[in-house]
Structure 1
Amino acid sequence: MRHVVLLLLGAHLVSAGKHSLRYFFSAVSGINDFPEFTIVGQVDDQQFMYFDSKIMKVVPKTAWMRQSVGADYWDRETQIGIGTHQAYKNNIQVLKERFNQTTGVHTVQVMYGCEFDDQTGETNGFRQEGYDGEDFLLLDLTEMRWITPVMQGFFTVQKWNNYRYEIEAKKHYFSTVCIEWLKKYLEYGKSSLKKTVSPQVSLLQKSSSSPVVCHATGFYPKYVTISWMRNGQDHDEDVDLGELLPNEDGTFQRSSELRVTPEEWKNNKFICVVEHQGKTITANEIKTNQGDSLPIGIIVGVAVAVAVLLLIGIAVAGYKVYQKKKGFRPVNASDDGSNRSTHSFDSVYSVHSDDQLI
């Protein structure tokens, strides 16, 4: 997924199934101590590169990327990142005008990438753009057009949909170039990406009247199931499953809360069951009671997750749009577009493309 297209003929992928390459852009205004612009790249949910407007360079986030490419690669990516930063500084100002905003914290967020199933050969590409946590633009590669659910995006889609050759170029990028680089990265990181790390499971509680937390951490890949049993039977009442959170070492953590009174806990046998990669781990004793403080593992995970969510904003909401486009309702062309700005919403469709800004 770079300027030079390298086709990996006969490359051995790390494991059978679906693989993904995703990039997340975030432009932020109104926060003095936070980078104006960041880029995060992920292969199979593992972050492998990072750029922000404070350090002004693209850096590797995995040993396998650091060892697989040379300085010219990072120099080239840095120059592209710097140029993209300038484009998105403009984008966020344009959108503030369109939404009649002059103060406050605002974000422009983009997610794009591709998927490849090495069993079926099926490929998919996707790109969504968001503003202040809400959907703004979606590239529909099936209908070969941009759509928007808000009036402020109408001018952009009307303009971009006139550039048919640009949409064709993007489709080619997602179906070929992106897939080729995904395969290349999978080969680079095969020793790391195919690893399996089982979770550590603990039952935690702030006080006797607080919910009991089943905390699973340190696992990879990210797919995990957490459930509760009561006296040998499945129990799903008064249970809240938390979000999947990243750890700093590339593993993941997740928690499930059980709201239970001290009497219920004492008079019944509750077990937390964690399933990961065919392995089952159970816990039934509260090993940690931290009073009013949270366990340090959860504190670290939440802090990391907040930073990641701020960086990749639409990673959850936007990806759901990609999976369920029926919920993304475009504005009709008959709308009058009275809120249009005289500026265009400039954007680079890929940090790894030298496409001319529209």
Structure 2
Amino acid sequence: MLKNLFFSVKHSLKFFLTGTSGKTNFPEFVSSARVDEVEIGHCDSIMKRAEVTQDWTRKLISKNPQHLNWYSQRCVGSQEFFKANMDVFKQRLNQTEGSHVLQSVKGCVWDDESGEIKGFDQYGYDGEDFLALDLHGLTWIAPKAQAVVIKHLWDKDEGRLKDNKKLYMSECPKMLQEYMRYGSSFLQRTERPSVSLLQKTPSSPVSCHATGFYPDRADLFWRKDGEEIHEGVEKGEILPNNDGTFQMSSELNVSLVKHEDWRTYDCVFQLYGVKKDIITTLDKTKIMTNWVSPSEFPVHHYAIGVVSAVVLLLALGGALYWWRKRW
């Protein structure tokens, strides 16, 4: 029995900004613009100008060069804003030494079926949620006591509050819809992943890993005799790859599986907009593992390198996902 996937068709334009103070190995300011989680441009305090990262974005820029100018101006302005507020934060929070990080994610989400628009403007400081703008009440929300002093300070800037509401509830959706028109062939494509079974040791869970799929509206689950199961299953989050595609994994605790029942278990990958699922039967001969006995090591040395590389990519993807998920 196939599982029905239903996803509301929503698109997003997000701006990720990070400012640092003190001695660090990172640029003082970095920003990235993303459409549907795909980076379309970035800038930092070193190059001090915006650069596009997608071919279809370059076509839009060639017809509307003001877009790139707007981003470059925002880059410089945001860097100055972050630098000034880092000093204010440290002063108001009685911080004199050390390195500190101010992060922000802002933008809009547009539902192309209902037309619903949601804008947002959120800040984090030193790895914790700090301030979020209520675009309807035009006031800042402080989830932590130490942020209240900054909230009161920012609430007084009525001009900025009104500008933010206009930007994220009106201008941002228009920009997003224009991006969707230019980048539809890229952003609305579908790419099926490669699916592998991975296992660290014979006693470890078997991980069904799918990578290289697009869009991120997908599901990956285990089933037994054609029925989805949840016991002994741990499903991971969808993570981004560097090339704009996505990856995810789902682990099955095989210690709960009888030897004679292995082939009754399947890993199923489903992608929104694609009718045919990718089904991988639980088969010991198909499992990639980095565990070998000493006598087998020379034979499987190459396999160890391959699997180790996969594990490293998963770890890097997880670190990136954590940063994006927080803000």
TM-score when normalising by structure 1: 0.75
Partner of 1:57, secondary structure, is coil
Alignment-derived partner of residue 143 in structure 2:
149
Contact kept in structure 2, 1:39 and 1:50, CA below 8 Å = yes
Aligned partners of 1:231 and 1:115: how far apart in 2? 39
Decide whether aligned partners of structure 1 residues 307 and 272 sit closer, same or farther in structure 2, where only a CA change above 3 A counts: closer
**Aligned pairs, how many?**
298
Q: How does 1:158-177 map to 2 (within 5 A)?
A: 158-177=152-171
Partner of 1:175, secondary structure, is helix
Decide whether aligned partners of structure 1 residues 169 and 86 sit closer, same or farther in structure 2, where only a CA change above 3 A counts: closer
Partner of 2:85, secondary structure, is helix
Decide whether aligned partners of structure 1 residues 223 and 90 sit closer, same or farther in structure 2, where only a CA change above 3 A counts: same
Decide whether aligned partners of structure 1 residues 47 and 215 sit closer, same or farther in structure 2, where only a CA change above 3 A counts: same
The reply on whether 1:20 has 2:12 as its aligned counterpart is yes
Residue 24 (structure 2) aligned to one of 16, 22, 32: 32
Share of identical aligned residues, percent? 36
Aligned partners of 1:103 and 1:140: how far apart in 2? 32
Decide whether aligned partners of structure 1 residues 274 and 104 sit closer, same or farther in structure 2, where only a CA change above 3 A counts: farther
Residue 261 (structure 2) aligned to one of 268, 283, 303: 268
Letter in 2 for 1:279: K
The reply on whether 1:317 has 2:320 as its aligned counterpart is no
Aligned partners of 1:102 and 1:268: how far apart in 2? 63
TM-superposed CA distance for 1:298, in Å, is: 4.4
> Unaligned 5+ residue runs, structure 2?
1-7, 292-303
TM-superposed CA distance for 1:246, in Å, is: 1.0
Contact kept in structure 1, 2:267 and 2:280, CA below 8 Å = yes
TM-superposed CA distance for 1:73, in Å, is: 4.5
Contact kept in structure 2, 1:199 and 1:219, CA below 8 Å = yes
Alignment-derived partner of residue 182 in structure 2:
188
Contact kept in structure 2, 1:126 and 1:174, CA below 8 Å = yes
Aligned partners of 2:72 and 2:166: how far apart in 1? 24
Aligned partners of 1:255 and 1:103: how far apart in 2? 41
4+ runs deviating over 4 angstroms: 102-105, 292-295
Aligned partners of 1:235 and 1:169: how far apart in 2? 49
- Deviation string 1:100-141 (CA, Å, 9 cap, x unpaired) is 444555321111111222222222211111112221111112
The reply on whether 1:283 has 2:280 as its aligned counterpart is yes
Aligned partners of 1:140 and 1:148: how far apart in 2? 11
Q: How does 1:92-111 map to 2 (within 5 A)?
A: 92-111=86-105
Letter in 2 for 1:130: G
The reply on whether 1:59 has 2:51 as its aligned counterpart is yes
Decide whether aligned partners of structure 1 residues 93 and 268 sit closer, same or farther in structure 2, where only a CA change above 3 A counts: farther
Moved more, 172-181 or 24-33: 24-33
Tell me: higher relative CO, structure 1 or 2? Use CA pairs within 8 A at least 6 residues apart: 1
Partner of 1:316, secondary structure, is helix
Alignment-derived partner of residue 312 in structure 2:
299
Alignment-derived partner of residue 249 in structure 1:
243
Alignment-derived partner of residue 42 in structure 1:
34
Contact kept in structure 2, 1:228 and 1:273, CA below 8 Å = yes
Q: How does 1:207-222 map to 2 (within 5 A)?
A: 207-222=201-216
Aligned partners of 1:31 and 1:228: how far apart in 2? 47
Aligned partners of 1:198 and 1:306: how far apart in 2? 24
Aligned partners of 1:299 and 1:37: how far apart in 2? 27
Moved more, 85-94 or 133-142: 85-94
Decide whether aligned partners of structure 1 residues 80 and 62 sit closer, same or farther in structure 2, where only a CA change above 3 A counts: same
TM-score when normalising by structure 2: 0.81
Aligned partners of 2:21 and 2:99: how far apart in 1? 6
Contact kept in structure 2, 1:245 and 1:302, CA below 8 Å = no
Decide whether aligned partners of structure 1 residues 77 and 143 sit closer, same or farther in structure 2, where only a CA change above 3 A counts: closer
Decide whether aligned partners of structure 1 residues 94 and 308 sit closer, same or farther in structure 2, where only a CA change above 3 A counts: farther
